[in-house]
Amino acid sequence: MAARGKSVAFAHIRAEVIRLVALIPSGKFTTYGSIAIHMNVIARHVATVLARLTPEESAALPWHRVVSADARLSPNMDAALSRKQRRLLKAEGLRVDKEGYIQNADAHFHSVGVRRNIRWSDTPPSVP
* Domain-wise residue ranges, the chain: 8-108
Confidence of residue 95 (pLDDT cuts 50, 70, 90): very high
pLDDT at 128 over 50: no
* Predicted TM-score of the model (pTM): 0.85
- Non-local CB neighbours of 83 within 8 Å, separated by 6+ positions: none
Cross-strand bridge partners of residue 31: 67
Reported as a single tens digit per residue, the pLDDT across 102-124 is 999 999 999 998 777 777 665 45
**From CA 61, how far away is CA 23, in angstroms rounded?**
9
77: Cα within 13 Å, side-chain hemisphere: 23
Reported as a single tens digit per residue, the pLDDT across 9-34 is 889 999 999 999 999 999 999 999 99
Per CATH, domain 8-108 is 2.60.40.420: no
